[in-house]
Amino acid sequence: MTRVGPTVEQGVQPDTRNPRWWSLPRAVDRRVIWLAWASFVVEVVLIGTGGLVRLTASGLGCPTWPKCTAESLVSTPEMGVHGVIEFGNRLLTFVLVVVAIAMFLAVVRMRRTRPELFWLAFAQGIAIPVQAVIGGLSVLTNLNPFVVGLHFVVSTTLVAVTATLVYRSMNGPRAAARLVPAWYTGVVRGTVAATAVTVLVGILTTGSGPHAGADEAVDGGRLHRTGFDPQLMEHLHAVPAYVLFGLTLVLVVGAVLLRTSSRWALLLLVVEFVQIAVGLTQARTGLPVGLVGTHMVLAGLLVGAVTVLVLSTRASAGRSAHREPVAA
């Protein structure tokens, strides 16, 4: 088919605003946004698969690290379904590595024009080996609940990092202007603190309950637990959760009164409402694995929603905005 229109031979240069997919971006385009979203989604999915490993008692399905067994890198038929689940979760780490490398390459040429994207992508990449080592330590310590809890803390931190990556890639770097008054910013900070306490106490609560992550027979006849009273921890966990819910209600009402955007506060409120409903149901039905796993994934989404809420209190310069290059 004959191409209609001017050609390079006729003296018209190709459109450099739409580069080939294989060229590294110089500015934020759809590839950067899609990779930012992929980074966020993979982190949330890994929280879900990590929960699946724990809730199916597959935490020691691969009893050693970095190999699955002393002789095999992969799971063997003798290890059964537990080995498949644990090794499958380990394989997903390689998916995250691929996405993280692609994300870093997508913003590496913007190191001076969009340094916040560069450093966020760098932080995501550098955290992967840290997370892998903590995961290995959790296996080598027979699923010590505090090591496993640290594993979850890093996961939620990466959710916050990738949520920021999505927001900044879609909205541009932070501008100086503040979009809300000081009192609203203070409530937002209280919301962040309440979220942190809720997640941390939730980790200790899970580490005190029946889901140790492995069968007693696999763990040499004993299960590592925190030693805290599970029922007491459930009540303690509810306190910061309800404080968080109350603060979010204040943010929603405040946004309406200030006639500013309330969508992120509303999103956070919806996530919290579902989280509370799932938490109450699982506590009253004997902690079924499906609800506990859902509760864990919702915790990741909660952190992501809080992160975006914080970012939305400041103006953004726009996706196509460039900062002045940093002096050498």
d(CA 154, CA 138): 13
- For the segment 71-107, what is each residue's pLDDT rounded down to a tens digit? 888 887 777 888 888 888 888 888 999 999 999 999 9
Token representation of residue 192: 């962040």
pLDDT in tens, 156-187: 999 999 999 999 999 988 887 888 999 999 99
**Residue 24 pLDDT exceeds 50:** yes
Helices 230-258 and 182-206, packing angle to 10 deg: 160
Model-level pTM? 0.85
320, pLDDT greater than 80 = no
Domain range summary for the chain, segments of one domain joined by +: 23-316
What pLDDT, in 10s, does the model give residues 115-153?
A: 999 999 999 999 999 998 998 898 888 888 898 899 999
Phi-psi domain of 314 (left: phi exceeds 0; alpha: psi -120 through 50; beta: other): beta
d(CA 26, CA 113): 9
In this predicted structure, the answer to whether residue 256 has a pLDDT above a threshold of 50 is yes
Q: What is the pLDDT of residue 213?
A: 67
Tens digit of each residue's pLDDT (9 = 90 or more) over 55-80: 888 888 888 888 888 888 888 777 78
Query: Measuring CA to CA, which residue among 272, 246, 271, 115 is closest to residue 187?
Result: 246
